[in-house]
């Protein structure tokens, strides 16, 4: 029987194929955010459109000519992104170590890997024709609320989203995302524009995640799953506010910018 040692597993985790999988994953991630942004920004422009999430973006792709081929490519990309995040988390590819700060970063990578993996599974289910139903955050939250300590679980997830929103806002303000980019490889004239795309994209993502977190916390506090929203619900909440068309347009443009930033990461991210 053949056993793989921890040292051998970590060495495999440093493979250049992991980096290639990550870059393919950033392309898939960018495409999904770009589709969400493009669909939403059509609403304030009077061109139709809709508020949707990344699952909805996948179904939009499926409805296009050659949609199945595109979905297969997206599935590979999402799987690649998940592999890279799992290698970061479990095999410590980035050498974060076992101190609390390093473990927190590695746990975050595992969480991102799980999310990307679930999107990959959904993509495959759409391809084979078993995933046509839409996601329903309210039903999912209701099931969790019925569990022992369900309110605390929903509240913890809400705090996680709220924290992610604040973290994205922090990265937008401080431009901390730049430390992960190989800026020396960028054209000097393009660098300020690419940085601005990152700032706008992270700011919009921060707004959306903060809204999702707020309403999940509200659902836990009020013990009411109807309060829960996802990405599409957060965009609808913006549209319902005074000057909602402007707010939705700005955030939708920001999500589109984040999608473009993911393409920048696919080329210049240090993975």
For 153, other C-beta atoms within 10 Å of its C-beta total: 15
The pLDDT, as a whole number, for residue 245 is 93
Grade residue 130 by pLDDT with cuts at 50, 70 and 90.
low
In a domain, 271, yes or no: no
User: pLDDT at position 14, please?
Assistant: 86
Structure tokens at 12: 């495999």
| Percent of the chain whose predicted confidence (pLDDT) is above 70 | 96
Q: What is the mean pLDDT of the chain?
A: 92
CB 54 within 8 A of CB 34: no
Q: Is 172 among the domain residues?
A: no
Contacts of 188 (CB under 8 A, 6+ apart): none
State the pLDDT at residue 179: 94
Residue 83 lies in a domain: yes
In terms of residue numbers, what domain contains 72?
7-134
Q: What is the mean predicted confidence (pLDDT) over 187-209?
A: 96
Q: Is residue 73 part of a domain?
A: yes
* Cα-based distances in Å from 244 to 40, 52, 98, 166: 12, 16, 45, 22
pLDDT of residue 134: 52
82 is a domain residue? yes
Residue 75 lies in a domain: yes
Q: Is pLDDT of 246 > 70?
A: yes
pLDDT digits (tens, 9 = 90+) for 155-173: 999 999 999 999 999 999 9
Asked, for residue 217, whether it belongs to a domain, the answer is no
Q: Which of 243, 261, 239, 241 is nearest to 49 (CA)?
A: 239
* Total of domains in the chain: 1
Residue 61 lies in a domain: yes
**CB neighbours of residue 226 within 10 Å:** 12
Q: For 107, how many CA atoms within 13 A lie in the half-sphere containing its CB?
A: 8
């Amino acid at each position: 029987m053949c056993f793989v040692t921890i040292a051998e597993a970590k060495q495999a985790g440093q493979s250049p194929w992991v980096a290639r999988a990550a870059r393919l994953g950033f392309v898939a991630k960018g495409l999904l955010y770009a589709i969400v942004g493009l669909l939403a920004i059509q609403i304030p422009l009077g061109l139709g459109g809709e508020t949707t999430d990344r699952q909805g973006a996948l179904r939009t792709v499926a409805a296009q000519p050659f949609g199945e081929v595109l979905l297969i490519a997206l599935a590979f990309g999402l799987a690649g992104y998940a592999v890279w995040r799992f290698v970061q988390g479990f095999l410590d590819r980035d050498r974060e170590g076992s101190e609390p700060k390093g473990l927190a970063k590695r746990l975050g990578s595992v969480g991102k890997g799980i999310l990307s993996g679930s999107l990959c599974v959904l993509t495959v289910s759409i391809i084979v024709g078993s995933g046509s139903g839409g996601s329903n955050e309210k039903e999912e939250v209701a099931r969790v609320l019925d569990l022992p300590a369900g309110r605390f679980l929903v509240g913890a997830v809400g705090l996680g989203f709220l924290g992610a929103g604040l973290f994205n806002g922090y990265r937008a303000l401080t431009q901390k995302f730049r430390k992960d980019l190989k800026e020396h490889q960028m054209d000097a004239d393009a660098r300020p524009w690419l940085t601005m795309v990152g700032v706008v994209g992270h700011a919009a993502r921060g707004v959306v995640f903060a809204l999702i977190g707020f309403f999940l916390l509200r659902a836990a506090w009020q013990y009411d799953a109807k309060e829960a929203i996802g990405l599409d619900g957060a965009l609808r909440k913006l549209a319902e506010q005074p000057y909602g068309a402007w707010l939705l347009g700005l955030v939708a443009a920001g999500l589109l910018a984040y999608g473009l930033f993911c393409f920048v990461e696919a080329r210049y991210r240090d993975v």
